[in-house]
Structure formats: structure tokens, C-alpha cells
Structure 1
Amino acid sequence: MLNMAEGLARIGALAASPVVDALARAFADAGFELALVGGPVRDALLGRPTNDLDFTTNARPDDILRIVKPISSAQWDIGRDFGTIGARVRGEQVEITTYRADEYDGATRKPVVAFGDDLEGDLARRDFTVNAMALRLPGPALVDPTGGVEDLVAGILRTPVDPAVSFGDDPLRMLRAARFSAQLGFDVDPATVAAMAERAETLSIVSPERIQGELVKLLQADDPARGIRLLVDTGLMAKFLPEVPALRLEVDEHHHHKDVYEHSLTVVRQAIELERERNPDAAPDVRLRLAALLHDIGKPATRRLEDGGGVTFHHHDVKGARLARKRLQALRFDSDTIASVTKLIELHLRFFGYAEGAWSDSAVRRYVRDAGDELERL
């Protein structure tokens, strides 16, 4: 639960950090506004680790570059057309973006850049209220025009404006809702969930690369299941990974089998637990988590109902690997990730019988050989 006094103390300390202080002084001396915005403010209030430092300003890109050059060891302007300048200040990477008032072209979802003139207007166009807070510098002063603090206290994700309007501006925000729900352990406001379901079809105009990026970030969460459930329940998952909702197989009164969808979410959770036990300081293993989620996606296509109430899924491992390859290619995953995930899916049944002592020494060697670099994940 958010302790406001402690949270304010943390953002005060953040504002006084050498990097933030250096930037605040430089922009103030140049006559421009500067504010720390979004994730760093949210995470400081929640007591979560603060990683990337994002700033916003009324300075235009050329002015930003001129101001940061004397106090930074490197600069990059790959995002200049969208108002963003990156820099390395005192060993930390920062991004500084001109106030925005984006408009979207309605087809490709690429923003038509329109620079804004005030902080409050910039915050109102952001995705969720908990990300629409800023720390005005050098004050510091907390700016929260959309009720982000209240939503942090309540553990709620809500859009600053009507969710249909927000998701109409950028449908990718619907996937971000699932990701932040998983990362923060927050519930999504019912009106926002309803808008996600109503506008699921609009995800088709978002590029596969952007969808992949959000899926990866979701899988990197401590508990991705919350976000996965939201995507399945709203129909969004069916737009880019339809094999996952298809795992919710119908079960009649005569043919019984385990709930494959719930089983798959359990495997994801258990894989993450084992991952932490083995490598507690390692980064989240996205390949392992993808394979855990998708390992049984071949079952719907291979299900056979037998006399006496039995159900079989012969060769679902091979079928699942083929389906996963096709889907991951469509989402523009790199070839190494695709090869890793599909091998894990194809071999996931091979360990059957080992615990009962039914394997010979040669079977063990063959298993190790076939698994190759994926042995520990498998």
C-alpha cells in the first residue's frame, strides 16, 4: 500500500540526485521548464526501483541538445523528429522530450507530431493516470492533474480521458494496460476493460513489432498471468496469439481432461519460480516464459475424443512447435528466440518417465544431446 509521506520523501530524494539536479539547473539557467515525468515518479511513490529517467520540457529539440551538451558525455537525436533527445549525464542515460500534443493519422497509428506548450496538456495525453504525474523541477513540485495519486492508492489503472478516446489515439495502450496490471499488480478500471473489449479489432492497425515489444514486457513481469488473463478475456490476445485463448477447450460431461488454459498459466508461474531459484539475479528469461505459455498450443488441433471418456492429444508437441514458429515469425521475433522456443515446445514431452527410473543411460545421453543449449530451460 502507498504511504504518501514515504512516497513524497522518495521523490524528494530523486529530485536531489546528482543527475536530476544537474539537468534541473541547466534548463532553469537557460530559461526553460523541466519536469521528471511518468514511470520514475510513479515508481518512486510506490517504492519500486527507478530505472529510466524521462523528462519533459517546453524547450524544442534543438534547444534541448544545446542545453545538455555541456553536462553530458554523449547525446543522440534519433527521436528528434518526435521531440526526444537522449543523453548520458553523470553515467546515467536520460531522455528529454518536448511537451507533446500528438495527433494520430487514423490509419498507421503513427503520431503526427504537434509540440505542446504546457506540462498539464502533455500529461493529459498520456496512457494512464498513474503515468500522468510529473515532478516539476527544480522545485520540486508534484503535478497530478488527472488523479494519479488517488489511483495509485486504490491500485487502479485508468485512462486520463475517456478510454475509447485514449485507445482510439493509440490501440497499443490496451496492451499496455495488461502489462502494467501485471507489473504493478493493479486492477483495471471496469470502463477501461469494457473499452478494451469493444476496441479489440483496432489492434490490427498496430505493427507486429510494437505488439511484440509489449508482449515481451508483459512476460518479464513477476506474475504475467494477470495480464494474460486480461488480454484473453477482452479478446485482444486472439488478435495476435489466438492459440492461447483456444486452449480453453470445451469439456463435456463424458470426456474429461485438465483445463489446458489454466494448466498453461500454472506452467508459466512454476517456470518463473524455478527460474528465480536457479538464477535469482538474472534478467527474466523471456524464451523460457514464452515456451511455457505456448507449450500446449498444439492440443486443440490434435484433440481426439475416445470411447469411454478418454481424450488424447497425440503429437501435440510437434504440432505446437509448428504453430509457435508461424506465430512468432508473424510477431517479428528474432530467429534465435524462435529456434529456442520451438525446440522447447517440440521436446517438452521427452522428459516423461525419467522420474520413474524408466530411462537407460543411453536415453539420458540422447536427451542431453537433443536438448543442446536448451537443456536447463527444458
Structure 2
Amino acid sequence: MSVALDAVRAALRGEAAWLVGGAVRDRLMGRPLGDIDVVVAGDVRAAARHLGLSAGGPAFPLSDEFGAWRVMGPDRAWQVDLCPLRDGSIEADLGLRDFTVNAIAEPLGGGPLLDPHDGAGDLAAHRLRMVDPRAFPDDPLRVLRLARFACELGLAPDAATVAEARAHAPALERVAGERILAELTRVVSAPTALEGLELMEALGVTAAVLPELSALAGVTQNRFHHLDVYDHTLAVLQAVIDLEDDPAPHVGDEHAAAVRAHLATPLADELTRGQALRFGALLHDIAKPPTRTLHENGFVGFPGHDTGGADLSRTILTRLRASERTRAHVADLTRHHLRLGYRVKERPLDARGLHAYLRACDPVQVDVTLLSVADRLATRGDNAAPAIAAHLELARQVIGPALAWPAWRAQPPLVRGDVLARELGITPGPALGPLLAAIDEARYAGEVADEAGAVRYAAGVLAEG
């Protein structure tokens, strides 16, 4: 990222411009430099185009209303946002920012830092403090950003900032869903995500942006659980985070590298599959409150919370303007998160059992297997130790075939549907689907290997009725 900073300094030499926000803060903290924000006193459009031309990357407007421009480095290696100076001076501009640690400016042409609100002092004290009480009513999203910065940077908000943020948390209901999702993703993706979520709950943020998650608090479960649904959900999320850090104890040394690579794969909405798995952990039991059932014997159950949770998670992510791929992915995680547990008594699964599980969970067969492990590890009521051991035994058997499943699924079929219909003397139609599925299962089990064998096998299925 120093390449980007060098490019900015070279292109804007002679301009009245300042490095501001996270770039200054992160350099003071010794953190890797992320995206760069620059305030320009002159013509922002001209400065952005000049930077783009000199650096060899595109420049484009971000906002007609605020006059901001973005420049991307070659091959999108870096990103610089250029904004116009507000209220006539850099000091006044800094006074409009959210937190003191983000209200420090460094002149691009050199010179001492401009720090009118003692953001450097707050960094040294590990403190997160608002610049002005107007920060939150000016933009209620800053209440959620407070939780995000706290967990990402390891800073503790001071009492006055907490009180002001809490007072304006309800206004988050009026903030655009995509802005909420961007900040929530940062919280959920942080190594200390649970601290961020706990601060969100304390500030009243969760009630405003994820009321369904707040509704899990106090929902008691059966004797196989040691936590209510809310605390269990956080425990599952922590188990997912731990699994991301070191999958080997749960999936075996031979699959750990492949699992890490899988979780690092981009999915959608700038989420990796690992980040999406964290959302799956947050939402996997989201339908437990409306499905909670007290049976005559006093046992508490949640019938249908998996399928109901799939629908509810989709509703939530639609409200947050997530892409269809993210909505479908998290809904599938929720829908299938119990499936491996249902098969524990059948372990070890034979080839047909493996095929049935993988086919049912496709395309989240790896992800939901990991979610089921995290869910099981976070469930420590009666009979926990043997139940966890049995579940992990099955998960270790399944994870290798789950990783290999996409390559298996990509193979051409042994026989096309029209050819099968002709060979069997049947009319092409819906009846072909079950026959082709039966052939695929038999192929996975090693019982058929070519077109002729597939036709004979299908003929036998038909003969059996």
C-alpha cells in the first residue's frame, strides 16, 4: 500500500491535500495500511483524473452529492478515495468526522500531523471517543461503526460516547440496508467478533438492525443444551472462528489446508465463504423462538426451525440488500445444518449414504459440514462428550468427499436422458429424473461405470417398480 501512497504524493505534489482517516490512524497504530482517503482543497475531479492517469488506473465519481472520486491502482491493487474539503478548512473538516482517532490529518506535502481533537492521545489510551455529539444524529450508521471500530481496533469507547450512541441507535432502522450490511460484515469478520456483537447488543444496535437476533435472548432449550439460544448462537460463531483458525483438530490434518483454502474462496458481496459461514452461524437457529414447542413430557423442541430458519435468514438478508447468491448460500446453511447430526447413528456412512448427504447439501456440502461441527461443539448439555466425539468422527469421514464433490458433480453423465429413454422404450418426461439420479448414486457407489451398465441398471430399477 506504500506504492499507493507514493503514487498519491507524486501525482498531487503542489496540491493542498491531506491524508486523513483510517490511513493516518493505522500508520500510528503500526497496522497495515488499508484503503487511502485524501481530502483535496482544490478540484477533486481534476486531481482524481490526474492520479488515475499517472498511476495507470481508472478514476470515477463516487457521489454527485458529495463530490467524491475513487481511483483504483493497476489490477485493483489499491484504492484511493478523494473528497472535497468541507467547511473551508481542514480543521473544520476534521470536526465533522465520527471519532477522534479518525480525525487526524497528514499534509501530503509534508509537515506535522493536524490533530485538533487529540486522536493520537486516544489511540495511546486505547480509547474510542466521538469528535462531537452531533456525530450520531448526522449519520446514525456511526453507532454501528462504533462497535465495528471497537472490535477491529481493540479500542474501548468512553462513557459519553456510549451514552450518545445508545440514544441514537433506534435511528439505524432508517439507514439503507446495504450500508448496514457493509458494517455488520466488518463486525462479524473481526477476530473478536463476539466483542463487537456484545457491544452492538449493549448499544441497542442489534435490536435496530437484527431484531431477530436479539429475540433469541432468554429462549431456553432442552437438557442437551447448556445455554439459551442467543448465547448458544454466539458460542457457535466462536467455534466457527476457532475452526477457521485451526481446522485440523476437527477435520483431520490431511484436510486442514484444503478447508482453509475453501473458506478463503470469494463468494459474493465481498464475502469469502468463511465470512458467509459466520453469517450462517449467526442465523442458523434464528427461527427457534417462533418454533419453540413444549411437549407433554416437558421436553422442549423446535420443530421445523431449520426450514423456517432458511426462510427467515433469506428475509433478513434481503432486508440488508445482500445479493441473491449470499441469500441462497446462508439459507442453505440454515436449512441443512441438522442434516449431518441426523446421520450420526449410521456412521460410518456407506457410499450411498455419503452420496445422499452430499447431494442433499449441494452446493454447501463443505460449509454446512463445518457449521454442524461448530454447532455440535457449542452444545454441551447432557451427554455432550460422547455426542461430540461421534459427530466429529462422522464429520472427518465426510469432509474429504465433500471437498471432492464439485469435481464429481462436474463429470458428464454416463448416459443422456434422451438416450436412456430410447434404450428403455419410454417416453421422455419427468420419470427420467429419478432414473438418472439412481444411476448417479450407483455410479458413486462403484456399481456402474459406463453407458451400457447405466442402461442395464435403470432397466432393473424400472422392473422393480
Aligned to 1:143, the other structure's residue is in SS state coil
Partner of 1:375: 365
1:95 to 81, 93, 118: 81
Which residue is equivalent to 2:12?
27
Q: Which amino acid aligns with 1:176?
A: R
Secondary structure in structure 2 of the residue aligned to 1:352: helix
Instruction: Could you tell me which runs of 5 or more consecutive residues in structure 1 were left unpaired when the two chains were aligned.
Output: 1-13, 101-115
Unaligned runs of 5+ in 2: 247-258, 266-271, 369-465
Q: 2:97 aligns with which of 126, 131, 144?
A: 126
Structure 2: distance between partners of 1:42 and 1:352: 46
Query: Counterpart in 2 of 1:108?
Result: none
The equivalent of 1:279 in structure 2 is 260
Which of residues 51, 59, 63 in structure 2 aligns to 1:68? 51
* Matched residue, 1:113: none
Q: Does 1:199 align with 2:168?
A: yes
1:74-153 paired onto structure 2 within 5 Å: 74-79=57-62, 81=64, 82-88=66-72, 92-100=78-86, 116-153=87-124
Give the AA of the match of 1:217: R
Distance 1:255 1:345, change over 3 A: closer
Q: CA deviation at 1:176?
A: 0.8
Of the candidates 25, 31, 35, which is equivalent to residue 52 of structure 1? 35
The Cα offsets for residues 255-290 of structure 1, whole Å up to 9 and x where unpaired, read as 986221111111112112222333279375222111
* SS, match of residue 96 in structure 1: strand
Distance 2:323 2:63 in 1: 27
Aligned to 1:36, what secondary structure does the other structure show?
Answer: strand
In 2, the alpha carbon distance for the partners of 1:323 and 1:363 equals 29
For 1:368 and 1:68, locate their aligned partners in 2 and report how far apart those are by CA, in whole Å. 50
Q: How big is the shift at 1:234?
A: 2.2
The structure with the largest helix share of the pair is 2
Larger Rg: 2
Q: Contact between 1:255 and 1:311, CA under 8 Å: does it hold in 2?
A: no
1:93 to partner: Cα distance: 2.9
Q: 1:369 to 1:245 in 2, by over 3 A?
A: same
* Structure 2 match to 1:215: 184
Superposition pairs for residues 337-352 of structure 1, below 5 Å? 337-352=326-341
Match of 2:428 in 1: none
Letter in structure 1 aligned against 2:12: F
Alignment match, 1:3: none
TM-score, with length taken from structure 1: 0.82
Aligned to 2:303, what secondary structure does the other structure show?
coil
Q: Deviations over 1:200-247 (max 9, x none)?
A: 221122111211221122222122111111222222212222111111
Structure 1 partner of 2:150: 181
Identity of aligned residues (%): 38
Match of 1:235 among 192, 197, 204: 204
Seen in structure 2, the aligned counterparts of structure 1 residues 255 and 49 have a Cα distance that, compared at 3 Å, is closer
- Count the aligned residue pairs: 344
For the pair 1:39 / 2:22, whether they are aligned, the reply is yes
- Taking the aligned partners of 2:227 and 2:80, their CA distance within structure 1 comes to 48
Deviation of 1:174 after TM superposition, in Å, equals 0.7
Deviations along 1:105-158, whole A, 9 cap, x unmatched?
Answer: xxxxxxxxxxx3221111111111111112122224222111111211222211
Q: Counterpart amino acid of 2:170? A: E
Greater shift in the superposed pair: 276-285 or 120-129: 276-285
Give distance in 2, aligned partners of 1:236 and 1:97. 29
Correspondence for 1:154: 125
Question: Deviation of residue 182 (structure 1)?
Answer: 1.7
Match in the other structure for 1:333: 322
Distance in 2 (CA, whole Å) between partners of 1:62 and 1:304 is: 61
Confirm or deny: 8 A CA contact 1:40 1:51 kept in the other structure: yes
Shift of 1:161: 0.7
Deviating more after overlay: 203-212 vs 306-315: 306-315
Supply the distance in 1 between the matched residues of 2:106 and 2:302 (Cα, whole angstroms): 55
Q: Assess if the C-alpha contact under 8 Å between 2:52 and 2:59 holds in 1.
A: no
TM-score normalised per structure 2:
0.68
Distance 1:96 1:349 in 2: 48
* Aligned residue in 2 for 1:297: 286
